[in-house]
Structure 1
Amino acid sequence: MRKKLTSLLLGLGLAGTAVLATGGAAQGHGYTDSPVSRQQLCGNGTVRNCGQIQWEPPSVEGPKGFPARGPADGHICSGGIGRFHELDDPRGGNWPATSLTAGQSHTFVWRITARHSTTDFRYYITKDGWDSTKPLTRADLDPQPFLTVAFGGRQPGSTVTHAGVLPQKTGRHLILGVWTIADTGNAFYACSDVRF
C-alpha cells in the first residue's frame, strides 16, 4: 500500500510540475507590432536562431520602474530574462529595421495576449551616435521618453493603438517600448529597430 501511495504522489507531483512548466510558456502578455519588435520578428520567423523567444514573443516581462530600476544594462531588450538573451544580441547591428519619418506622427501598436491594469506605455529612443553593434544600455537612450500614454489603471484591449510624433532623428535607432503594469511589480519591454 505504501509503495502505491508513493507512486501516486510522485505521479501527481510530476503531473503538477508538467502543468506548471507548460503553463509558464503558454502565458503571454504583450509586444509591439508597430514598429515591429525584435520578439515579434523572432515569433513570426523573420529572424532565425532566436531561442525560446520565438515561441513566447509576448513574455518579455521584467521589473518595472525603468529607467531607475528594471532590467540591467545590456539586458534591457530581454527584460532581464536569461532565456531570452538573443533579444539583447545586437547581431552586428543587422536586426531588420522599420522605416520611419522623423517628426511625423506614427501609430504605435501593442498586441496584448493577457490584459493587465496599466499605468502607462512609454517610448524611449537611442541618442544620436548610438552604436547599434552593442547591447542596449541606459546611457544609449535619451533620458526622457519621447511619448508617454497614461492609462490610469485601466485594462487595455487585445490591441492597443496610440499616435505620437516621432523625434527628430536620422539614421538607425532603437525604440524601447515599456508597458508598465499597475497592479504588479513588473513591466513589459519591447525593442524595435528603426531607420529614419
Structure 2
Amino acid sequence: MNRKLAAAAAGALLAPVLVVANPAGIASAHGYVNSPASRQAQCAQHTVPCGSVQYEPQSVEGPKGLKSCNGGLARFAELNDDSKGWHATPVGRTVTFTWTFTARHRTANYEYYIGNQKIADISGNNQQPPSTVSHQVNLGSHTGRQKVLAVWNIADTANAFYSCIDLQVS
C-alpha cells in the first residue's frame, strides 16, 4: 500500500514538470474545413453516419504530400469512400472555404486540389492562424459534382491536415 501511495505522489509531482519541459509537439495543431461542410464536418454534424471521425473531425492529420481524404489514417478510411452519400454543397465558380482550428500551429501554406490539379496555394506566412481562416478559391472551369481536397501544411512539422469537400458547381 505504501508503494502505491509513493508512486502516486511521485507521479503527481513529476507531471507538471513533464508538461512544462515537453515542447508543443505535433499533437498541438488540429483543424478542418467547416464551411462548406467537409466530409468530417458532415460526420460531426451527423449528416452522414460515420465512425470515430465524428468525435474528432479536427484530427485528420498525416504526412505532407498525401492526396487522400483520410490523411492516410486507417481509422478514418470512410472519408475516402465516395459512395457514402456525402452532401454536395451548391456553389458557383468561386468558393469561400473556412477552416476551423481547435488548436493552432504555425502554417506553411494551404493547398486546394480537384483531382490531381492544384487550384490554389495560399501562403500561411509561417504564422499561427486565428481560430478561423477563410480563403476564396476560384474553381476554374470545373463544373458539376466535384470533390475538393483542402490541405493545411504545418510549418514546423512533417505533417498536414486534410479535408475533402463535396461541391455541386454551377
Aligned equivalent of 1:86: 78
CA distance in 1, matches of 2:102, 2:95: 23
Which blocks of at least 5 consecutive residues in structure 2 are unaligned? 16-26
Question: Over residues 65-119 of structure 1, what are the superposed CA-to-partner deviations in whole Å (9 max), with x where a residue is unaligned?
Answer: x2xxx36xxxx111111111121222x26211111223xx322110011100000
Aligned equivalent of 1:43: 44
Matched, 1:5 2:3: yes
Shift of residue 173, structure 1, vs aligned partner: 1.2
Amino acid at match of 2:59: S
Spell out the pairing of 1:114-133 with structure 2 (5 A cutoff).
Answer: 114-126=103-115
CA distance in 2, matches of 1:89, 1:115: 28
Distance verdict in 2 for CA 1:28–1:86, change over 3 Å: farther
**Structure with greater strand share of residues:** 2
Aligned equivalent of 2:23: none
Do the aligned residues in 2 keep the contact of 1:60 with 1:78 (CA within 8 Å)? yes
Q: TM-score, normalised by structure 1?
A: 0.71
CA distance in 1, matches of 2:78, 2:60: 12
Matched, 1:99 2:90: yes
SS in 2 for 1:179: strand
CA RMSD after TM alignment: 2.4
Spell out the pairing of 1:41-190 with structure 2 (5 A cutoff).
Answer: 41-48=42-49, 50-64=50-64, 66=65, 70=66, 76-90=68-82, 92=83, 94-102=85-93, 105-126=94-115, 141-142=116-117, 145-190=118-163
Do the aligned residues in 1 keep the contact of 2:28 with 2:105 (CA within 8 Å)? no
Deviates more, 1:163-172 or 1:115-124: 163-172
CA distance in 2, matches of 1:84, 1:7: 40
CA distance in 1, matches of 2:140, 2:36: 14
SS in 1 for 2:54: helix
Question: Over residues 106-159 of structure 1, what are the superposed CA-to-partner deviations in whole Å (9 max), with x where a residue is unaligned?
Answer: 221100111000000110013xxxxxxxxxxxxxx22xx111110120010001
Shift of residue 6, structure 1, vs aligned partner: 5.8
Identity %: 44
Amino acid at match of 2:87: P
CA distance in 1, matches of 2:143, 2:97: 19
Do the aligned residues in 2 keep the contact of 1:28 with 1:56 (CA within 8 Å)? no
SS in 1 for 2:126: coil
